[in-house]
Each structure stands twice: as structure tokens, then as C-alpha cells.
Structure 1
Amino acid sequence: MSSRKIKHEVAALLQGRDLAAIMEAMRRYPAKEAVNALFALICRDEQQLRWHAVSCMGEAVARLAETDMEAARIVMRRFLWSLNDESGGIGWGAPEAMADAMCRHAGLAEEYVHMLISYMREDGPEICQDGNYIEHPLLQRGLFWGVARLSGCRPRLLLDKGAGEHIPPYLGAEDAIVRGLAAQAAGLLRLTASGAVLRTLAHDPAPLTLYRDGRFDATTVGALAQAALESMPS
């Protein structure tokens, strides 16, 4: 089957509503072919299509890593390159797809989680610092969706790599989606030092829609902050 035909079929599949059925159908395609078809779809404007593509990309990259780890590394490096200023692109969908793949494959998480964390961190004046701060608010949304996703599936790894110190500043982000996702991550990682800020955010009425396992849930920053507080140790 030609790559063009596969891309057409995959785009049609992702229009469905049942993510589990979509992912089952996607497994008919070899992992490499699925990845190639999904690259153009993780940055589409249509919300449902794009998020289904992110989930399917994460599953396909993890599936690829099971049989050809080096090929999966090439895909992860392609995500990283798309977020590099020198790439000439913007990297839409890359942080989300990276995080989803890392949730699904422990080996990829061990190798690449530090890179996701680095996008929260600015380079300082010292030599050999490894910050890769993402300034664009819309890319920050994708970054923090990824951070929150990993906070739910690999919290210990994130904490061991120092993510806990970089999340709290984003609780004051101007963008409501970034604030809400940072609050969610703070709760999942049990960042008790953020309790005072979360108590303030619990009154934040700003609305947002979260993508979770094929669903789109309407919520508010305040609701996410309150949920984070309730998850903290007493």
C-alpha cells in the first residue's frame, strides 16, 4: 500500500469518536508506517483529529521501540528537532506526542524525559546549563499537557529528574491552560510547597478543556487547583 493511501486512511480513521477502536485499527499498520502517516496530523487545527493523532503517535512510537529502539530514537529526535529554532518549524504537537510515547514505553522515558523537562527551564549565565525554555504560549500548553501526562504515569521519574522545582513558577502563568495544567501536575507530583499558591488558584474561574484518554473534559483552573490540593498528603 502506498504511503499516500495510508495517510488518507489514517486521517479518516482519526475522525472517529472511539479512541480505543481507532487505536485498534491503527495497529493494523506497521509502526513505522503509522508514525509517518501521523506526523502531519499531530499539528492539525481540528481538535479531535489532532488529539487522536497524538494518542496514536504515542502508541505507534512505543510499539516501534519494542522492535527497533534506534528507529524510535530517530522519531524522538525528530520531535526534538522540530522544537529547535534552527529547524525552521514550530513543533506543534511534538511535546504532547513525546510525552505520550514516554508514558507508554519506560525505555523512551528514561532516555528523553530530561529533554521534556528542559523546555520548562531557561539557560542561565553558567556554562553547561541545559535549559531549552519554550516561550510561545501555545507551545507551552502542549509542553504542560505532556508534563501533566507524565506526572500521572511516571511521577517518580519526573521527580528524580528535578521537574518538581520547575513546575511551580508556571502556576502564575498568564495563559489559563498553562496554569491549569501546571496545577494538575503539581497535584499529581504532590508538590506540597505549592499549597499556598494552589489555594489561591482554587478561586480561579478561567475555563479550559482537557484532553484525557480520548475524552474532552470541560473544567476550570480553580477545579484543577482544588483537585490538586485534595490529592496532597494531609
Structure 2
Amino acid sequence: MELPRGNKGSLIASRRRILERLLSERSAQTDSELDRFTPMQVINSLFSFLYHVDTSIKRKAVSMMGATVAELAEDDMESGRNVIRRLMWNLNDESGSIGWGSPEAMGEIMARHEKLAMEYGHILASYTLPEGNYLENEIIQRGLLWALLRVYRTRPELFRRLNPLLLPYLESCDPAVRGLAAELLGEIREEKAYHSLSGLLEDGAEFENEMEGTTRTVKQAAQEALAKIGNQ
């Protein structure tokens, strides 16, 4: 039965209030009040938190999005695909949206659900390719690099088949892009990056990995990456 418009609006506002309270809390507890909403309703409300100015809230929203979509896809794979497609659309120029938080959400979903990762991992990698769906916005690139790192840590074999183009990010004007690229290249032990990483050993610019809540210099990220590559 179709709900009156006022009731629909109240339910949406209620979901948002519950999520805002839950995401603002320091604990990782769940809220039983969310049980009265379907996974898709929760996901729809989570979208607006993917670009929240408070990075701790954004981190929790990305994590909850990944967990909820993975759970949804176990019962309804097509609905899981539709969420990925919506995130992809947000990154499309034609959408009129910048797509804040979309790469991070895609990476988290793929880290948590193998079938979605197998189907859409190549799309995530294509955002690094000039001949693909290259993302030019440097803030979005930060999220993309974290998403690729998240996928690598959970699905290294899939990541290597995806073969994203990472070396050019070490030359970015944005310290966070350089630093996150260094972290990722070190994690995957990319020997071809050794020379370029060595060129960052005097780079004292600070950057934040907002999805992990850490701050350090590009130089430190490069040093750690070189140590990992050298010790393999």
C-alpha cells in the first residue's frame, strides 16, 4: 500500500536521524531501531553520509555501506549490482554529481563481497586509466587509491589481474595523492616504483589518510614503501 507523502518523509527523516546518531557515536555498536528498515532503505539514506565533512562519520558510513550491500547481495544480487551502478553513475560527468565517497564505497563493497568484486573490479581499476574512465579530481583520486588498497588487502589475486595504472600518481600536485599512491605501491611491492619512490624521500608535505585516520609525510610513506619493496 502506498504511504501518504507525509509518512514517507517522516520515515526518511527518521532513518537519517538514527544513522546520524549511530555514525556519530564512537562505539561500533549497531542500533536495533534500524531493524525496522529494509537494507535498501538504509543504503539509500547512507548515500548522503558518504560526503560528510566529518571524516570519522564518513569512514563509518563507508563501512556500513559495504556491510549492508554485501548482506543485501547475498539474498538479492541484482539489488547489490544496482547499488554499485548508482555509485558508478555518481562518478559519471553526465550525472552532475562529483561523486564524493563513491570510490571508497565501491572498494569497501568489493572487499566484503567476492562476486561483486569479480564483476566490477575492472571498473574500479579503469578509473586510473587515461584511455578508460580516468578520474581527474584529486580529492576523488584519494578515495580511489584507498579503495584499491582496500581491495588489494582482501583480494590480492584479483587486484593483480586488474592491473591499475598507479605510477603517475606519485607525480601528483596533491600530497595526499602522492602519499596514498606510495602506500599502495609499497603494499603491492611494486619494483617498478622504486626509482620514483626514491624521488619522494625529501618530500616533507603532510597528508591525511582520512579513511584510516592517520596523518604523516609523503617522505615517511615513501620510506615505508621502499622498505617493503626492498625486503620482499
TM-score by length of 2: 0.88
**Contact 1:155 1:188 (8 Å CA) reproduced:** no
Q: Deviation per CA, 1:175-208: give whole Å up to 9, x if none.
A: 1111111111111111111111112223321111
Equivalent position of 1:81 in the other structure: 89
Is 2:36 the partner of 1:35? no
Equivalent position of 2:138 in the other structure: 137
How big is the alpha-carbon RMSD for the aligned residues of Structure 1 and Structure 2?
Answer: 1.8
Equivalent position of 2:72 in the other structure: 64
Which residue identity does 1:85 align to in structure 2? D
Bigger mean CA deviation after superposition, 73-82 or 131-140: 131-140
How far does residue 83 in structure 1 lie from its aligned partner after superposition? 0.6
**Contact 1:41 1:50 (8 Å CA) reproduced:** yes
Equivalent position of 2:3 in the other structure: none
The aligned runs of 1:1-234 (5 Å cut-off) are 2-18=11-27, 20-21=28-29, 24-25=30-31, 28=35, 30-123=38-131, 131-163=132-164, 166-212=165-211, 215-232=212-229, 233-234=231-232
Equivalent position of 2:7 in the other structure: none
How far does residue 104 in structure 1 lie from its aligned partner after superposition? 0.8
**Contact 1:35 1:61 (8 Å CA) reproduced:** yes
Structure 2 CA distance for aligned equivalents of residues 16 and 230 of structure 1: 37
**Contact 1:148 1:182 (8 Å CA) reproduced:** no
Structure 2 CA distance for aligned equivalents of residues 88 and 193 of structure 1: 37
SS at match of 1:92: coil
**Contact 2:206 2:215 (8 Å CA) reproduced:** yes
**Contact 2:55 2:210 (8 Å CA) reproduced:** no
How far does residue 97 in structure 1 lie from its aligned partner after superposition? 0.3
TM-score by length of 1: 0.88
SS at match of 1:190: coil
**Contact 2:206 2:217 (8 Å CA) reproduced:** yes
Q: Deviation per CA, 1:4-31: give whole Å up to 9, x if none.
A: 211111011111123x32xx33874542
Q: Deviation per CA, 1:27-76: give whole Å up to 9, x if none.
A: 74542122111011101222222222111111111111111110000000
Q: Deviation per CA, 1:61-104: give whole Å up to 9, x if none.
A: 11111111100000000000011111111111100000011011
Bigger mean CA deviation after superposition, 61-70 or 43-52: 43-52
Gaps spanning 5+ residues in structure 1: where? 124-130
Q: Percent identity?
A: 39
**Contact 1:54 1:96 (8 Å CA) reproduced:** yes
**Contact 1:14 1:49 (8 Å CA) reproduced:** yes
| Greater Cα radius of gyration, structure 1 or 2 | 2
Aligned length: 220
Gaps spanning 5+ residues in structure 2: where? 1-9
Which residue identity does 1:58 align to in structure 2? G
